Amino acid sequence: MLRLDSVHAGYGQIEVLRGVQLNVERGEIVTLIGANGAGKSTTLLAVSGIVHVRSGTISFEGKSLAGLRSHEVTSLGIAHVPEGRRIFKSLTVLENLRMGAFQRHDNPGIAQDIEKVFSLFPVLGERKRQLGGTLSGGEQQMLAIGRAVLARPRLLLLDEPSLGLAPLVTQTIFSVVRELNAKEGTTVLLVEQNARLALDTASRGYVLEIGRVVAEGPSRQLLTDPRVIEAYLGEA
Amino acid sequence: MSADRGIRDRALHAARLVLLVLLVSSPLVWLKLERAGDETRDRLAFNWERASGLLHALPWILLVLGAGAALGFFLSRFKGAIASAGDRVRQEARKLAATRPRRAALVALPFVLLVLFPFLPPHLSKESQLSVQNYTNVVVFITIYATLAVGLNITVGQAGLLVLGYAAFYEIGAYSYAIIAQPERGEHGLVLAIPLAIVASATLGLVVGLPSLRLRGDYLALVTLGFGETLRYVIRNLEDLTGGEMGLSIPDRAKPPTLMLSSYALDRQLSVLVGTSILLALCISTTARIQRSRVGRAWLAIREDELAANCMGIASRYYKLLAFVLSAIWAGLAGVAYAGQVGFVSPKSFEFDESILILSMVVLGGMGRIGGAILGAVLLYTLKWVLQDKFSEYTDYKNLVLGAIMILLMVFRPQGLLGSAQLAQELKGEEASAPPPAAAPALSQGAAP
Amino acid sequence: MSEDFQAFLSNLPQAIANGLVRGSIYALIALGYTMVYGILGMINFAHGEIYMIGSYAGIIAVAALSTLGLGGMGGPLSLAVVLVLSMAFAMLVSGSIGFTVERIAYRPIRGAPVLSPLISAIGMSIFLMHFVMVAQGKDYKQFPIPLHDKLVVTVIKIGTPSLGSWWPEGSVELTLLDLLTLAAAFGLMVGLYVFVNKTKLGTAMRAVAQDKTMAGLLGIDIDKVISVTFVTGAILAAAAGVLITIRLSQTFYTAGYIAGMMAFTSAVLGGIGNIPGAVLGGLVLGLAEDITSTYPGGSDWKVVVSFVVLLACLMFLPRGLLGERVGERA
Ligand SMILES: Nc1ncnc2c1ncn2[C@@H]1O[C@H](COP(=O)(O)OP(=O)(O)O)[C@@H](O)[C@H]1O
Ligand SMILES: [Mg+2]
């Protein structure tokens, strides 16, 4: 479904991705783990057309994403929940969700999906007229995911959804991600610092290090890989 | 292959934009409002003259377009050869200008020639005096504008503070001289005018600079513009002192002394030329010295990142004020020179246009570059003079051209003609957000699959 | 002196009424500055010229209609048709020029530090002003006097009573044009409010102002939203341009310069980026200007007064009356 072929990309003079090779099949949850600064976020940004790809190709459902701008990538069915949530602080919860459905014009369907998000995250329904900036960190993450769901994506890119959240909130969010994958068939590419949680959720994983994939395989296999255990799972 | 496509895409994009501009401007270009005799309203008419004018100009336009296309083709064909030739020229130039005195001499040489020209004996004959007088006039103005551009470059280029109302400082210098030269105030000359202009413009620099310390770049631009406008209104309204709209003439006794070389009129101009050349030389040498000093480095730091500069212990407020005051003083002195040259001052000579002209000089030459400011002054004053005196039917196009130059420069070459690549980077910026902190890699190098 | 002051007091109610009308026009222009600032964080120096072009387009439209035999002199209906059509034409011309200005001078350097867009904007302002001068000539353009006279008729006159010995009696007169101006200005502002707050595109505009990258990730075409912002601002400015032209019965190619300055001051006064703030700022500045010029000898100083207001506001109230609202860039 999503395929990255020796992708090189970076910022200004600095090259961050040095030939990333990665693919995600329909219906999977795949995780991308790695240390801080390895280039995980940059990989997702390259898919979304925000970071310029210097060489290599990225394709989605067989179509090349080269030269597309971020809103055009979105219109192909990819939703990206970036690092740090980036909720519109002075828009209400409802308006934030509606922005997620910006490219859709089926108003009844949008209303239905908003109700669906409220049933997944009831707390958002209680706060729907509140400004985004007044939400707590966990609520903002829920809103960010809900907003992405409103686009009815076939592929969901999630960047560190657990960052800075209490374990209980993290569990809620991850169970919703699993539910979206199981019930709606949404394919997920999950970037996580918390490698154990990520590998528990995903069926396959990639390990990224200074801009290259250095290990990959089914989650069970990575969980037992001594190098992965030493570097990312620690003694936990 | 893909490069060709890039060129084709760009050409298409440019063509689309040109078409858009032609379309959007058409109501104002092709329809004209005209009033016959004593009618009370304007009638609408198709602008036939413009249409026929365009028809006549069509061969020229096609010629220019064709030449442009040919040049573009040529440049893209021989890109490599041209680049290497450019490199060679640059290398030679660098060798030639290896030391600072040599560099200074290279910059000064054309000016010295320009300035000395009217003094050469053959020109002192009666017949050629009129044309020499015209020539001298142009050179005097070039030196005045070069002083202004170098002065404005201190704030805009070196310290990164966009000052839009620079003509205000120029104006206050000119009025300082004109006011004390009035008969009822004793017809004082330059001896008093120069110190007074320095004090007045420096004070105005402080007055404008102080509130500006707290303002962001765009507000600063607006406030300096507002100060300029306000000063003009004040001068216009204080009629007893300034003569209001009518302006002030400088009586002969208060004018700059003459050199007594030839006829009276030329003589006066030659003495002004000597004065403005000295002024320009002083301005360039002190400004260059300051730019290389600690002060210049502090300005650079402030321009690049004021917050960081403050953290490094640079008292940015002090240095910004200093930039304002120095910049103002040069304009004040240029104002004295202007009043001495023209013998008459009025608010009309210091309108917004004037500030824009000087700013364009700095931007065209390359912000932060003294040589750039001078080059900009020479080019744009020449343009202004050519449009005013040689092709006077096109005078109206002067500001049109200036505006277009500013836009095109910012889009295609923000560093100006002489600016460095580093400045270009600084002015183009990056859309990217701040980088997150990097951490050491965790897996060993040998782990690659 | 005291007689002067008495005269000033008796004229004050009328000055307040005039100031409100003038202020509503400033507000229309100020909205364009504030919207562009909100979304791009830059001062669109060329906005005053967009307004001036609107005033020219208005006169062109009226002249064209009268050439077609629709002079607007045949009764209230034909007058309304002329006004509406000329306003629409002015909006079309200014709107398309606003669109083009952004495409040519701002889009290629979006994201550059403030100095480049600022210089480009100043260049555009000068270019447009002198483009109109070259294209349309250096003389004042006249709005048809009979039409002007038909609109500038007093329709409301209220006497204001004297309050004891210190406040003399006076009166307030409002012309048909005053009422039309107020109605058009406030109608447009309400329309803008609804557009920005209640429609999808308006919400997208606020989203883009806050975080362009995120807006793009959600499928919002940022370039399009920014274009819409410029066009909307230009449309409001064009309306202001037409209203002013009828009031003064003429226009001139430098008309955008002072009006732009006043409107920008209004925007800053209200809190730049803040839409209700621009309206409030415009009204306050309009009042300040008319009250100053009512004072004997005051009209020579009104530009100075406005500038002092701007400076004082930047110094002591840098976020404006209602607070600045510029999208936090991530
Ligand atoms: N906007 C940026 N400009 C310059 N460098 C950046 C930027 N964003 C990230 N980087 C650099 O790119 C590298 C990878 O960053 P990122 O993809 O965010 O890593 P990760 O998400 O794996 O922690 C880091 O070294 C970081 O410093
Ligand atoms: Mg990251």
Average pLDDT over residues B116-121: 68
Which ligand ends up closest to the CA of A159? Answer: 2
Q: What's the pLDDT tens digit per position in A196-221?
A: 899 999 999 999 999 999 999 999 99
The shortest CB-CB distance from A99 to any of C207, C221, C328 is to C207
Strand A204-209 with A212-218, pairing:
antiparallel
pLDDT at C236: 97
Residue B223 is predicted with a pLDDT of 84
Over residues C307-323, the pLDDT tens digits come to 787 778 877 877 778 87
Q: Does residue B440 lie within any of the structural domains?
A: no
Give me the number of domains chain B comprises: 2
Collapsing DSSP to helix, strand or coil, C156 comes out as strand
List subunits contacting chain A, requiring 3 or more Cβ pairs under 8 Å.
B, C
Q: Residue B440: is its pLDDT beyond 50?
A: no
pLDDT at residue B87 greater than cutoff 80: yes
Residue nearest to atom 13 of ligand 1 (CA): A37
User: Band of the pLDDT at C328, cuts 50, 70, 90?
Assistant: very low
Map out the domains of chain C with their CATH numbers.
3-329 (1.10.3470)
Give the C-alpha distances (Å, rounded to integers) separating B300 from B323, B366, B369, C27, C115: 11, 15, 12, 39, 15
Q: Are residues B134 and B83 in the same domain?
A: no
* Ligand 1 atom, smallest distance to B437 CA: 27
DSSP reduced 3-state for C169: coil
Question: CA–CA separation, C286 vs C244, rounded Å?
Answer: 13
Amino acid C323: pLDDT: 75
- Which residue of chain C has the CA closest to B45? C64
Considering only residues B390 and C217, tell me which one the structure prediction assigns the higher pLDDT.
C217
Distance in Å from the first CA to the final CA of chain A: 34
In tens, the pLDDT along C86-133 reads 999 999 999 999 999 999 999 999 878 777 888 899 999 999 999 999
What is the domain range of residue B57? 2-93
In a domain, B434, yes or no: no
Nearest to B403 by CA among C280, C134, C125: C125
Summarised one tens digit per residue, pLDDT across range B372-389 is 899 999 999 998 888 887
Residues of C in contact with B29 (CB under 8 A): 135
pLDDT score, position B330:
97
Q: CB–CB of B230/C303 below 8 Å?
A: yes
**C239-264 per-position pLDDT tens digit:** 999 999 999 988 999 999 888 888 98
With a 6 A CB cut-off, is A41 part of the ligand 1 pocket? yes
Q: Is A95 exposed, middle or buried (0-12, 13-18, 19+ CB in 10 A)?
A: buried
Q: Is the CB of A17 under 6 A from ligand 1?
A: no
CA dist., res. A68 & res. A77, Å (int): 13
Q: What is the enclosing helix (H) or strand (E) of C160?
A: strand C154-160
8 Å CB contact between A125 and A118? yes
Is A193 exposed, middle or buried (CB count within 10 Å of its CB: 0-12, 13-18, 19+)?
Answer: middle
Contacts of B211 in chain C (CB under 8 A): 311, 314-315
Q: Atom 3 (ligand 1): residue with closest C-alpha?
A: B435
Q: Which CATH number is associated with domain A2-232? A: 3.40.50.300
Which residues share a beta bridge with A34?
Answer: A208
- Based on the domain organization, do B81 and B129 belong to the same domain? no
Torsion of CA B73, B75, B79, B84, to 10 degrees: 160
The reply to whether B175 and B78 lie within a common domain is: no
A138: nearest Cα among A165, A119, A167, A160:
A165
For chain A, the domains span: 2-232
Shortest alpha-carbon distance between residue A236 and chain C (Å): 34
CA A223 – CA A214 distance, rounded (Å)? 15
pLDDT tens digits, one per residue of B213-227: 777 777 888 888 888
Q: What is the pLDDT of residue B430?
A: 47
**Residue B433 CA: which ligand 1 atom is closest?**
1
ipTM: 0.93
Asked whether residue B138 is assigned to any structural domain, the reply reads: yes
The answer to whether residue C265 scores a pLDDT higher than 70 is: yes
Q: What is the pLDDT of residues B143-181, one digit of tens each?
A: 999 999 999 999 998 988 889 889 999 999 999 999 999
Inside any domain, residue B44: yes
User: Which token pair is A84?
Assistant: 């740090």
Surrounding ion ligand 2 within 5 Å at CB are: A 41, 83
Q: Ligand 1 atom closest to Cα of A45?
A: 17
**Predicted pLDDT at C316:** 80
Whole-number Å distance between alpha carbons of A125 and B409: 52
Q: Pairing mode, if any, of strands C170-175 and B248-249?
A: unpaired
d(CA A223, CA C189): 61
* A14 Cβ below 6 A of ligand 1: yes
Examine the pLDDT at B444 and tell me if it is beyond 50. no
What are chain C's partners, defined as 3 or more CB pairs within 8 angstroms? A, B
Distance A160 CA to ligand 1 centre (A): 14
Q: Is the minimum distance from the CB of B447 to ligand 1 under 6 angstroms?
A: no
Tokens of A71: 């809103």
* C123-175: pLDDT as tens digits: 999 999 999 999 998 888 888 888 888 888 888 888 887 777 777 788 888 99
Same domain, B130 and B80: no
- Whats the size of chain B, residue-wise? 449
Using CA atoms in the order B370, B372, B374, B375, what is the torsion angle rounded to 10 degrees? 160
Nearby residues of C183 by Cβ (< 8 Å), 6 or more positions away = none
Distance CA C237, CA C91 (A): 8
Name the range with the highest mean pLDDT among B86-90, B305-309, B320-324: B320-324
Structure confidence at residue B429 (pLDDT): 61
Q: Tell me, what's the pLDDT at B125?
A: 58
Least reliable range by pLDDT among A115-129, B355-369, C198-212 = B355-369
